């Protein structure tokens, strides 16, 4: 492929600093999903409790529910680059400490959950500051391509993080796995520090009070009809669909497969989402709203054969196909929000998106309670069928999201 053809396909890489930003994101997502896998695996092995396994997902995503808009206000008022650096200063020492505790034989079950909550707060920073930083780096015209590429790095994290997590647990152990992941976060920080100084320019701080901006952030969901229609779909998707991820550990138990095989099964989510993200980054379809809704609808339906699968190959195939649909949803989600929000409130709009994603811990808890009583298969099918009906009802009364299109270069 010639350099000119590459620029046409991936114009975001022409923006100064985006290459380092992208490499940092790859390492960050690899480490973060690796932490989620090893933590859930360890809790499942130690407790054999579906409820506690799902609690690992709840712990990761709960900060989104409570801190999304607050993080958005911070992102709109202060230097986003410095905020993102802070997330590394949270994750690196906590992950390192957990690995050292396990190596010394002093790792208690409860100690895993503070790491997951810390990861959740770092994810708030990622959603509100790091994602909003994309448009500052590449501009509005290349935003859809940049966010799709970002989705490939996130999806690769779900692939590599789970494969790496499963392999490290099988070959090295839980403690060593956490130590390797802390090193991966350090590499991510080193790439992030390569961003050009122009990106680090602090925003013009509003004269209004932070509390007022916080109220204005919440008010966006009321005044911006397009944003509200997007957020409704996000809430339904995270409440009823994405809550399945920690339950993969229980599906692995039902299929009687090893730790590395569970990692392979979990990685199918990333492979499917990466496939979708590459397609969108390459083809750059205009009707992002339709892909957003249709992708999630398809994903929900395809999660049913995953829950019913009686062998590893069947479960992997079903989860991969479902994840192509959820990848369409994920690769268009931030673009829709950033395009529908004015520049001065993008951080708060992304904060509202983060709060909507914060519906995931509620769904994770509900799925865990159903699985505790009726088994993981029944729990996944119940949640996805309910979610599909809710999605159809919401989009029938909020059609604005379906009609949304990407910004086209002049």
183 versus 80: the higher-pLDDT residue is: 183
Give the span between the Cα atoms of 371 and 250, in whole angstroms. 9
Give the span between the Cα atoms of 336 and 226, in whole angstroms. 9
- Which residues does 326 contact at the CB level (< 8 Å), separation at least 6? 237, 241, 242, 269, 272, 273, 276, 295, 296, 299
Lowest mean pLDDT among 27-41, 64-78, 183-197, 389-403: 64-78
Residue-wise pLDDT tens digits, 221-233:
677 777 888 888 8
Give residue 203's pLDDT.
Answer: 54
Give residue 212's pLDDT.
Answer: 62
Helix-helix angle 346-357:131-138, to 10 degrees: 140
Among 292, 255, 253, 241, smallest CA distance to 406 is for 292
Q: In whole angstroms, how large is the CA radius of gyration of the chain?
A: 20
Give the span between the Cα atoms of 171 and 34, in whole angstroms. 15
The mean pLDDT value of the chain amounts to 79
Give residue 218's pLDDT.
Answer: 64
344 versus 375: the higher-pLDDT residue is: 375
- Which residues does 26 contact at the CB level (< 8 Å), separation at least 6? 153, 156, 157, 188
Give residue 195's pLDDT.
Answer: 80
227 versus 1: the higher-pLDDT residue is: 227
Confidence of residue 186 (pLDDT cuts 50, 70, 90): very high
* Residue 378, pLDDT above cutoff 90: yes
Give the span between the Cα atoms of 11 and 284, in whole angstroms. 11
- CA torsion sign for 363, 32, 55, 132 is negative
- 3-state secondary structure string across the chain: CCHHHHHHHCHHHHCCCHHHHHHHHHHHHHHHHHHHHHHHHHHHHHHCCHHHHHHHHHHHHHHHHHHHHHHHHHHHHCCHHHHHHHHHHHHHHHHHHHHHHHHCCCCCHHHHHHHHHHHHHHHHHHHHHHHHHHHHHHCCCCHHHHHHHHHHHHHHHHHHHHHHHHHHHHHCCHHHHHHHHHHHHHHHHHHHCCCCHHHHCCCCCCCCCHHHHHHHHHHHHHHCHHHHHHHHHHHHHHHHCHHHHHHHHHHHHHHCCCHHHHHHHHHHHHHHHHHHHHHHHHHCCCCHHHHHHHHHHHHHHHHHHHHHCCCHHHHHHHHHHHHHHHHHHHHHHHHHHHHHCCHHHHHHHHHHHHHHHCHHHHHHHHHHHHHHHHCHHHHHHHHHHHHHHHHHHHHHHCCCHHHCCCCCCC
Among 253, 248, 292, 254, smallest CA distance to 266 is for 248
Give the span between the Cα atoms of 205 and 290, in whole angstroms. 36
Confidence of residue 309 (pLDDT cuts 50, 70, 90): very high
* Residue 184, pLDDT above cutoff 60: yes
- Tell how far CA 99 is from the center of its chain: 24
Compute the half-sphere exposure of residue 404: CA atoms within 13 Å on the CB side of its CA.
30
CATH of domain 10-195+209-403: 1.20.1250.20
Among 166, 134, 128, smallest CA distance to 148 is for 134
* Residue 406, pLDDT above cutoff 60: no
Give the span between the Cα atoms of 144 and 204, in whole angstroms. 25
Confidence of residue 314 (pLDDT cuts 50, 70, 90): very high
Tokens of 290: 């339709």
Region for 292 from its dihedrals, namely left if φ exceeds 0, alpha if ψ lies in -120 to 50, beta otherwise: alpha
| Percent share of the chain, pLDDT over 90 | 16
Q: Are 326 and 104 in contact (CB under 8 A)?
A: no
Tokens of 78: 């202060």
Give the span between the Cα atoms of 115 and 42, in whole angstroms. 13
Residue-wise pLDDT tens digits, 106-136:
888 888 888 888 877 777 777 667 776 776 7
- Which residues does 306 contact at the CB level (< 8 Å), separation at least 6? 251, 315, 318, 319, 322, 380
């Amino acid at each position: 492929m010639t350099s000119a053809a590459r620029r046409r396909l991936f114009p975001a890489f022409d923006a100064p600093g985006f290459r380092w930003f992208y490499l940092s994101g790859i390492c960050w997502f690899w480490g973060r999903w690796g932490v989620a896998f090893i933590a859930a695996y360890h809790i499942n092995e130690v407790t054999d409790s579906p409820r506690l396994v799902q609690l690992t997902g709840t712990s990761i995503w709960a900060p989104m529910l409570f801190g999304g808009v607050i993080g958005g206000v911070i992102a709109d008022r202060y230097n986003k680059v410095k905020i993102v650096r802070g997330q590394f200063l949270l994750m690196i020492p906590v992950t390192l400490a957990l690995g050292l505790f396990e190596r010394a034989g002093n790792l208690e079950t409860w100690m895993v959950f503070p790491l997951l909550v810390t990861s959740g707060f770092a994810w708030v920073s990622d959603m509100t500051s790091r994602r909003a930083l994309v448009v500052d780096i590449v501009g509005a015209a290349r935003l859809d391509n940049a966010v799709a590429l970002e989705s490939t790095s996130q999806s690769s994290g779900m692939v590599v993080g789970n494969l790496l997590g499963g392999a490290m647990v099988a070959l090295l152990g839980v403690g060593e796995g956490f130590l390797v992941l802390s090193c991966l976060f350090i590499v991510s920080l080193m790439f992030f520090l390569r961003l050009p100084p122009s990106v680090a320019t602090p925003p013009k701080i509003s004269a209004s009070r932070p509390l007022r901006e916080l109220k204005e952030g919440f008010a966006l969901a009321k005044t911006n009809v397009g944003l509200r229609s997007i957020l409704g779909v996000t809430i339904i998707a995270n409440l009823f669909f994405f809550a399945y991820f920690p339950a993969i550990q229980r599906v692995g138990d039902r299929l009687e497969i090893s730790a590395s095989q569970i990692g392979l099964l979990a990685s199918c989510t990333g492979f499917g989402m990466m496939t979708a993200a590459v397609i969108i980054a390459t083809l750059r379809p205009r009707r992002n709203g339709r892909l957003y809704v249709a992708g999630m609808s398809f994903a929900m339906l395809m999660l049913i054969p995953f829950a019913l699968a009686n062998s590893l190959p069947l479960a992997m195939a079903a989860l991969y196909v479902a994840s192509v649909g959820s990848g369409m949803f994920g690769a268009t989600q931030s673009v829709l929000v950033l395009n529908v929000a004015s520049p001065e409130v993008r951080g708060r709009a992304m904060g509202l998106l983060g709060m909507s994603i914060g519906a995931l811990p509620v769904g994770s808890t509900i799925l865990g309670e159903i699985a505790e009583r009726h088994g993981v298969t029944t729990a996944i099918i119940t949640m996805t069928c309910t979610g599909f009906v809710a999605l159809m009802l919401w989009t029938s009364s909020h059609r604005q999201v379906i009609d949304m299109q990407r910004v086209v270069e002049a």
